[in-house]
């Protein structure tokens, strides 16, 4: 069955409303680390099965929680078709290499992110099955729900490996998540905590178990719109990096979110340069209408420095900005930032925390282990990148992989669709030759001339 339109993160809906839902865009999926990995699925078929459907009552529910869909968003979802370019089933890929790209109406290809990121679990199971069966048996000995066990079985069948004993223990997983959530609530206060872990779950069903647990612990807000509806929680989320990339300007992106949605906005600072452009743009808009109580959201980089700068610059203008803290938060990091808040003299009611993997992820095979990402690479034919810190720079354009076939050079090259393939390499997405990298320690990957040229163009636009 195809998933409900609500089976995504709330910020996907708000960004579609504040962007261009029918614009043609391309996103790509990759792992930033983890060594050679095995792709065990037919990606085009997987993506086709993920495209959402609008069920009776969905539209009315979205309107009731301030995520009303416009005509463009409805048309994008109704189109129900995307173009998927992917590595063949059974391929091995390296960190940073694009595993797949999806092109189609902006609202639709963006919507896919949380569910497509869960592909990392299947990939990690397949990889361990080939590289270390004993480690695999330990990693899947106990799973959190029936669907997670089914995913293990489907994946091992796809790679021709016998399934080890797997036991479902949803009660233990529920108790584990509830315990973590209670500790976070005790540290920060339940009224200042929200959950953003759909992208860190192994499957949608696992995330529902996690949401039941965090709700019992006192957390009542989640990014999972379908989960919020099912459990009587509040869906939340306003902005991701893709929204800022579309506009090519922090100020214009922030203004579009503020002016196209009645709900309060949260301005994400780090897409280009948190200190140089994100913070000034956010404070300029907050100053125009302080009563809206719009917030700033911190992601990568030095959050302590960024928070200090926002607070001091805001205070100089007579402002008390609201601060949203995410990106890898757990109890220890929350305590650290609470100490910073107290040192700066920021009121408790002005600081909120979002938790994802630290609440939801279980076991060894987590999204963070391989740093799975799904990023916007092209909007209306214009290549775009996320800059922030160097380790999180994304790839622009319509990226593909060249694999070394003979001679010397990097094992992989991130190239562009239609670029002439370098001598000694082959286009991996069109190859029927599977090179087993299970025993390889080589992970060298470089950019092709066309990719480097697109990156330079993005850098020049950023500088201007």
**Which structure tokens are listed for 66?**
């301030």
Instruction: Over range 16-28, report the average pLDDT.
Output: 96
Main-chain phi, psi angles of 363, to 5 degrees: 70, -160
Q: What are phi and psi for residue 386, nearest 5 degrees?
A: -95, 130
* Distance between CA atoms of residues 167 and 159, nearest Å: 21
pLDDT-derived band at 300 (thresholds 50, 70, 90) equals confident
Report H helices in 317-436.
331-344, 357-360, 367-370
Mean pLDDT over each residue of the chain, to the nearest integer: 95
For residues 12 and 62, what is the distance between their CA atoms, to the nearest angstrom?
Answer: 12
Ordered by start, the domain boundaries in the chain are 172-360
pLDDT at 135: 95
C-alpha dist (Å) from residue 458 to 24, 110, 387, 462: 18, 21, 9, 6
- pLDDT by residue (tens digit) across 408-430? 999 999 999 999 999 999 999 98
Question: Given its phi and psi angles, is residue 405 left (phi above 0), alpha (psi -120 to 50 degrees) or beta?
Answer: alpha
Q: Is a pLDDT exceeding 90 seen at residue 13?
A: yes
User: What's the gap between Cα 128 and its chain centre?
Assistant: 23
Sign of the C-alpha dihedral computed for residues 356, 360, 364 and 365 taken in this order: negative
Can you tell me the mean pLDDT for 121-150? 96
Give the pLDDT score at 438. 86
172-360 has CATH 3.40.50.300 classification: no
CA distance 439 to 432: 20
What's the pTM value of the predicted model, to 2 decimals?
0.95
How far apart (Å, rounded) are the C-alpha atoms in residues 38 and 43?
13
Mean pLDDT of 296-314: 95
- Rg of the chain in Å (alpha carbons): 22
Model confidence over 189-236: pLDDT tens digits? 999 999 999 999 999 999 999 999 999 999 999 999 999 999 999 999
Candidates 298, 291, 275; CA nearest to 351 is: 298
* 338-395 tens-digit pLDDT: 999 999 999 999 999 999 999 999 999 999 999 999 999 999 999 999 886 667 789 9
């Amino acid at each position: 069955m195809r998933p409900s339109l609500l089976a995504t993160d709330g910020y996907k809906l708000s960004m579609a409303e504040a962007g261009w839902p029918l614009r043609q865009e391309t996103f790509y999926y990759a792992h930033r680390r983890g060594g050679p990995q095995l792709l065990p699925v037919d990606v085009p078929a997987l993506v086709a099965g993920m495209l959402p459907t609008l069920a009776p009552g969905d539209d009315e529910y979205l309107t009731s929680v301030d995520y009303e869909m416009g005509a463009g968003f409805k048309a994008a979802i109704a189109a129900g078709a995307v173009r998927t370019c992917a590595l063949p089933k059974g391929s091995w890929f390296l960190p940073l290499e694009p595993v797949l790209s999806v092109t189609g109406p902006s609202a639709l290809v963006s919507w896919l992110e949380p569910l497509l990121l869960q592909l990392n679990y299947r990939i990690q199971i397949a990889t361990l099955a080939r590289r270390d069966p004993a480690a695999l048996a330990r990693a899947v000995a106990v799973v959190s729900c029936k669907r997670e066990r089914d995913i293990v079985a489907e994946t091992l069948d796809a790679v021709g490996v016998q399934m080890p004993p797997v036991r479902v223990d949803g009660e233990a997983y529920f108790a584990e998540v509830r315990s973590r959530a209670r500790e976070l609530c005790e540290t920060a206060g339940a009224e200042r905590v929200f959950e953003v872990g759909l992208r860190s779950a192994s499957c949608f069903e696992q995330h529902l178990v996690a949401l039941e647990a965090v709700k019992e612990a006192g957390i009542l807000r989640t990014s999972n719109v379908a989960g919020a509806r099912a459990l009587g929680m509040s869906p939340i989320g306003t902005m991701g990096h893709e929204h800022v990339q579309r506009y090519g300007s922090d100020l214009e992106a922030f203004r579009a979110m503020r002016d196209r949605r009645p709900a309060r906005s949260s301005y994400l600072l780090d897409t280009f340069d948190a200190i140089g452009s994100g913070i000034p743009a956010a404070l300029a808009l907050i100053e125009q209408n302080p009563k809206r109580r719009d917030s700033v959201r911190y992601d990568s980089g030095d959050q302590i420095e960024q928070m200090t700068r926002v607070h001091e610059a805001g205070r100089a203008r007579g402002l008390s900005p609201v601060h949203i803290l995410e990106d890898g938060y757990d109890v220890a990091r929350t305590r650290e930032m609470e100490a910073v808040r107290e040192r700066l003299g920021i009121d408790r009611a002005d600081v909120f925390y979002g938790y994802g993997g630290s609440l939801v992820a279980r076991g060894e095979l987590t999204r963070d282990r391989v740093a799975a990402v799904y990023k916007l690479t092209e909007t209306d034919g214009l290549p775009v990148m996320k800059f922030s810190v160097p380790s999180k720079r994304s790839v622009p354009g319509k990226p593909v992989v060249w694999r070394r076939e003979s001679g010397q050079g990097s094992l992989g090259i991130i190239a562009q669709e239609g670029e002439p393939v370098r001598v000694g390499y082959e286009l991996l997405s069109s190859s029927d030759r599977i090179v087993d990298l299970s025993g390889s320690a080589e992970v060298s990957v470089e950019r092709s001339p066309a990719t480097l040229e697109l990156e330079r163009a993005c850098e020049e636009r950023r500088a201007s």
